[in-house]
Amino acid sequence: MKTLLNLVMIPAVSLLFFGCAPKEKEKELEKFITAHVQKIKPMEKETNLAWWDAAISGKAEDYDKVSKLTLKIRRVYSDTEEFAFLKEMKDSGQIKNSILARQLEVLYNAYLRNQIEPDLLKQIVDLGTEIEKNFSTFRGTIEGKKVTDNEIKEILKTETDSAKREQAWLASKQVGAAVADDIIRLVKLRNQAAKKLGFDNYHTMSLTTGEQNVEQLDRIFNELYELTNEPFAKLKADLDRMLAAKCGVAVMELMPWHYHDPFFQETPMVYELDLDAYYQDKDVKELGASFYAGIGLPVETVLANSDLYEREGKNPHAFSTDIDKEGDVRILCNLKNNETWMETLLHELGHAVYDKYKDPQAPYLLREPAHAFTTEAVAMFFGRLSRNPAWMKQMLGLSDELREGIEEVGSKYIQLKQIIFARWDMVMYDFEKQLYANPDQDLNSLWWQMVEKYQFVKKPPSRNEPDWAAKIHFTAAPCYYHNYMLGEMLASQLHHHIVYNILKLQSDKNVSYVGQGKAGDFLAKKVFKAGNLYHWDQMIERATGEKLTPKYFVNQFVE
Ligand SMILES: [Zn+2]
């Protein structure tokens, strides 16, 4: 009887208890968030503006200002007491309101990744900077003569003498031997920091704080591997025949140096395709503006705030930035009227419309893309159009004959480009995962196992050098490379969904998106407006009815 009474009583009591406590916790959290946003919002705006000024002026003092402001923000997120508060909130399980819970998740991860002990963090940052410096000043040698990266690339693109190609390739790998020991030290320091925060290693920690996990990525990458295996073998066999013929060697004799870049991550130029000619007497800025206006996502205000043309001292690349999360979105470009800059402009404006058309009513902390790879996906979705024959025909007023010509060569080239990148990205993802899991293993042979497995490129006989260490991303952008591939997959998934479910077409052949307001409307409502209100996984499912899958990437480019 007594036991029964207790059983009955306890839930009743706890029901009462939990009945009021959550509201308390939620109120406490709300208060914290209000104070946090008040503090961080002006800091972020100031930093973004400083970054913008530095990119335009190129002045050292402007870059110094950016570093100082970035450090100030980092200090906010490294506060241990505030982190403890957020952890307590999370562990309490009493934050029921979904918008509050989402903000808590985002804040918790931002604090967590900045909880590395200051001494250890300093060692990590210093060693990283040191390696990057060695990278940028190192010059490989050919027959004792120093060569630049551009000279190496030029040889790999044009030389037909295999021995000379081999020397250039070997020169490109010399930096690996110079930095490998330091990279392994850096990996161990990063692991040490991650272990102190309760993670297996730094790779696991990076994925977790970025709301991803190894099981999920393994599943996606394994599926992509399976789906691309056969088609890649076939495409690569064709490619190998062409490359072998060019150098007068048998296919069996092809070595890593017969591909056109040091890692076989780019498409060897075996197909004649010059798209620049179609853009040279056009104005890419006007084309970009009119295309985006046509799909109902006008970019005039973005372009008005932007810096679009080359200037002395200015950052020579391109990016998009959301200055204040209140509509001041800008892009930086160095436009020329050619295909590369048409792609870049469409790409950066893709990032820009994601930021521009988000929900202005959403809480400040959630007024951002769901993930770095989701905004990359939208940028890729639009960037791909610059070489889409149907888009070119409509935007550039090409004849049907010209369009067909572009399509014939272009589709082969694009297919090769996408699949080569996919197989290369698998090497990076798998190797990096294993590098952090066990940095003491034989990394030199692990690297070649990956290259042989995914890229079908043979290890040179008896080669035992840290060729993996010649890739700067392990130092400069750790545990990030897989996101490029996730972006490509999502771009294709969005494309598939829009073509078949929004535009309700029978096929994606000849789809240009020109004037398709429904496509812009779908993206604005289902992707941009969702901001970071949902985990990326949920956002994708809500938008397309499916979880992220490599299926549509394979549909679009491989089969
Ligand atoms: Zn981008």
d(CA 1, ligand 1 centre) in Å: 67
- Burial class of residue 535, CB neighbours in 10 A (0-12, 13-18, 19+): middle
Q: Does the pLDDT of residue 2 top 80, yes or no?
A: no
Q: Which residues surround ligand 1, an ion (CB under 5 A)?
A: 379
Q: How many CB atoms lie within 10 A of CB 84?
A: 12
Residue 376 has a pLDDT of 97
Q: Does the pLDDT of residue 3 top 70, yes or no?
A: no
Confidence of residue 135 (pLDDT cuts 50, 70, 90): confident
d(CA 160, ligand 1 centre) in Å: 35
Q: Per-residue pLDDT averaged across 440-449, rounded?
A: 98
Looking at the DSSP assignment, which residues form a beta bridge with residue 142? 145
CA distance 218 to 212: 11
Closest by Cα among 41, 111, 34 to 76: 111
Long-range contacts of 134-142 (CB under 8 A, 24+ apart): 134/175, 134/178, 134/179, 134/182, 135/175, 135/179, 135/472, 135/475, 138/174, 138/175, 138/178, 138/179, 140/170, 140/171, 140/172, 140/173, 140/174, 140/175, 141/171, 141/174, 142/167, 142/168, 142/171
d(CA 525, ligand 1 centre) in Å: 21
CA distance 100 to 533: 10
d(CA 439, ligand 1 centre) in Å: 31
**409 vs 417, residue with greater confidence:** 417
| Type of residue at 270 | V
CA distance 201 to 440: 13
Residue 21 has a pLDDT of 59
Q: Does the pLDDT of residue 18 top 70, yes or no?
A: no
d(CA 318, ligand 1 centre) in Å: 9
- What mean pLDDT, rounded, does the chain reach? 94
Confidence of residue 369 (pLDDT cuts 50, 70, 90): very high
CA–CA distances in Å: residue 419 to residues 239, 390, 424, 493: 12, 22, 9, 16
Q: Does the pLDDT of residue 12 top 90, yes or no?
A: no
d(CA 47, ligand 1 centre) in Å: 20
d(CA 372, ligand 1 centre) in Å: 9
| Type of residue at 358 | K
d(CA 239, ligand 1 centre) in Å: 29
d(CA 141, ligand 1 centre) in Å: 33
Confidence of residue 15 (pLDDT cuts 50, 70, 90): very low
- What sign results for the dihedral spanned by CA atoms 491, 495, 496, 497? positive
The Cα diameter of the chain in Å comes to: 93
d(CA 223, ligand 1 centre) in Å: 25
Is 172 within 8 Å of 262 (Cβ atoms)? yes
Residue 1 has a pLDDT of 35
Q: Does the pLDDT of residue 48 top 60, yes or no?
A: yes
Interior angle at CA 33, CA 38 and CA 43, nearest 5: 35
pTM for the model: 0.93
**pLDDT for 186-235, tens place per residue?**
999 999 999 999 999 999 999 999 999 999 999 999 999 999 999 999 99
d(CA 466, ligand 1 centre) in Å: 30
Q: Does the pLDDT of residue 396 top 90, yes or no?
A: yes
Which run of H or E residues covers position 174? helix 162-196
**pLDDT for 84-104, tens place per residue?**
999 999 999 999 999 999 999
**pLDDT for 307-321, tens place per residue?**
999 998 899 889 999
